[in-house]
Amino acid sequence: MFSQAKHAPRTPAELLITNATVWPVATAEPIPNGRVLIRDGRIVRVGKFQSLAAYELDAGGGLVMPGLIQGHVHLAQTLFRGLAEDLPLLTWLRRYIWPLEAAHDSDSLYASALLGCAELLRGGVTAFLSMETTRHTGAVFAAAEQSGLMGSIGHCLMDETGNYPPLAVPLDDALADCDLLLDKLRGHDRLRLAIAPRFALSCAPDLLREAAAFAREHKLRLHTHASEQEQEVRLVKKLTGRGNIEFLHEIGLTGPDVALAHCVHATRAEWELLAATQTSVLHCPTTNLKLGSGLAPIPELLARGINIALGSDGAACNNRLDLFQEMRLAALLQKPVRGPEAMPAATVVRLATEGGARALGWEAEMGTLEEGKRANLIIVSPDRLHVAPSTQPAANLVFAHEPGDVELTMVNGEIVYRDGQFQHFDLPQVLALAREERAKLLRRAGLAA
């Protein structure tokens, strides 16, 4: 696909990307015939300049931009794809998702996460924030480490036995697991632990308070779900006498280090709370449609300066881990209600890049192409029937492109995906392992294939 002056290794110490439309995102406009110089995994220069480098990569006129950032995903659920369709949230969780998560062992979780990581890399994702399950989170770290991705991996906490006892783990045991994971990850350059209490209805107030304290003691992200559906909000109100986000706020689960998925049914007073506390919101438009949850008030949240990231949620409720689809829907969904000028394409691209970086707490390292940041970038080909002859990167990305248009994904200066090939695994083997582990998982869960 690329013509190269010199054949570059996968992780060159110095690389000059040429012949590209370079879009740094941030406030900058796309730069035609731009270049990006990378040294030791970091961006050294972006724009139009002359420079020599040990290796050169001709982007073939493609778009070079920051890697997409997946703001909300459950890699543990990739193996559940297509198993539980057309159900309301709480039934979907209790009848399928929680029993399947409880049936995971390390091997099935590893297979699920590796399959998910492959799909993310192929779709131009360079970093993610996840919520996994209550056990075996080390297997997700192993898969993510192998894939070359960056990520903040959420160990899920659930202790309320009223919901699904086999998945519940007592608070002290859950925090001991977090300690073990932290020990393993100390000083890891690409992967971090996040603390992910599932949602208000599956966590005792003490768990939520302790989870927040643990995360703050160790400077970790807090990642949970909030106000996804009306029924959930009603139940939280019944139990606590508070609005869902109001309750989370009182218990310590708002702040610049907190990311809340969905917030579809946040009240106006809660919008102000999210803004005042600088809490990030993770917008998952496909899941909100598929589970019939509703339309998240994203323009209203953006108008209040709230940081928004985009997420696919799990493959069990989407079914694609595809941020191009989420960008398209994030833009289109608002237009019938708020008019065609709502959610312009460039704004949506910023949610999938800068917004994601901020939600992960990694905004100094990624999310834009700027000097000193990590070389987390993608090359997207405009040379496709569904894109040509448009030369507008923002409109192309949001309304036309699809994951197959990503030609190259680079993380930390390493080419981890290129033209259908993964650097660290063989796709047919990943698919075979997923099929094998899914069959065993379904038997363990007592569900038919």
User: What does DSSP assign to residue 303?
Assistant: H
Q: Is the CB of 287 or the CB of 368 nearer to Zn ion?
A: 287
Residue (98 or 425) nearer to Zn ion, CB: 98
In the complex with Zn ion, the residue whose CB is nearer, 316 or 343, is 316
326 binds Zn ion (CB under 5 A): no
Tokens of 172: 């002290």
Number of chain residues interacting with Zn ion (CB under 5 A) = 1
Query: Would you say 204 and 165 are in contact if contact means Cβ atoms under 8 Å apart?
Result: no
Q: Per DSSP, which regions of 164-319 are E strands?
A: 191-197, 221-226, 258-262, 280-283, 308-310
Judged by CB under 5 A, the stretch of 231-239, 306-314, 368-376, 431-439 that binds Zn ion is 306-314
Site string for Zn ion, 38-77 (x = CB under 5 A): ----------------------------------------
* DSSP, res 121: H
Choice between 16 and 140, CB closer to Zn ion: 140
By residue count, the chain amounts to: 449
Whole-angstrom CA distances from 365 to 31, 263, 333, 353, 360 are 21, 27, 31, 12, 10
Q: Which is nearer to Zn ion, 296 or 345 (CB)?
A: 296
What minimum distance in Å lies between the beta carbon of 261 and Zn ion?
5
Q: Which is nearer to Zn ion, 283 or 373 (CB)?
A: 283
From the list 80-88, 207-215, 305-313, 327-335, the region that binds Zn ion by CB under 5 A is 305-313
Smallest separation, CB 448 to Zn ion (Å): 25
Q: How far apart are CA 296 and CA 288, in angstroms?
A: 8
In the bound complex, what is the minimum distance in angstroms from residue 71's beta carbon to Zn ion?
10
Which range touches Zn ion (CB under 5 A), out of 205-213, 307-315, 349-357, 394-402? 307-315
Residue 386, classified by CB atoms within 10 Å of its CB into exposed (0-12), middle (13-18) or buried (19+), is exposed
Q: How many CB atoms lie within 10 A of CB 283?
A: 27
* Gap between the Cα atoms of 54 and 271, Å rounded: 50
The type of residue at 221 is R
Stretch touching Zn ion by CB under 5 A, among 135-143, 243-251, 313-321, 441-449: 313-321
**Which residue has its beta carbon closest to Zn ion?**
313
Pick 288 or 412: Cβ nearer Zn ion: 288
Q: How far is the CB of 72 from Zn ion (least distance, A)?
A: 6
Q: Which is nearer to Zn ion, 313 or 407 (CB)?
A: 313
**What minimum distance in Å lies between the beta carbon of 120 and Zn ion?**
15
Closest separation between CB of residue 73 and Zn ion, Å?
8
d(CA 224, CA 200) in angstroms, rounded, equals 9
Residue matched to tokens 């049914």: 265
Rounded to a whole number of angstroms, the minimum distance from the CB of residue 317 to Zn ion is 8
Give me the least distance between CB of 316 and Zn ion, in Å please: 9
Q: Does residue number 232 form part of the binding site for Zn ion (CB under 5 A)?
A: no
Neighbour-count burial of 434, counting CB atoms closer than 10 A to its CB (0-12 exposed, 13-18 middle, 19+ buried): buried
Shortest spacing between CB 127 and Zn ion, in angstroms: 17
Strand order in the sheet with 68-73: 68-73, 125-131, 150-157, 191-197, 221-226, 258-262, 280-283, 308-310
Residue closer to Zn ion, measured from CB, 313 or 322: 313
CA distance 154 to 176: 15
313 binds Zn ion (CB under 5 A): yes
Binding site for Zn ion (CB under 5 A): 313
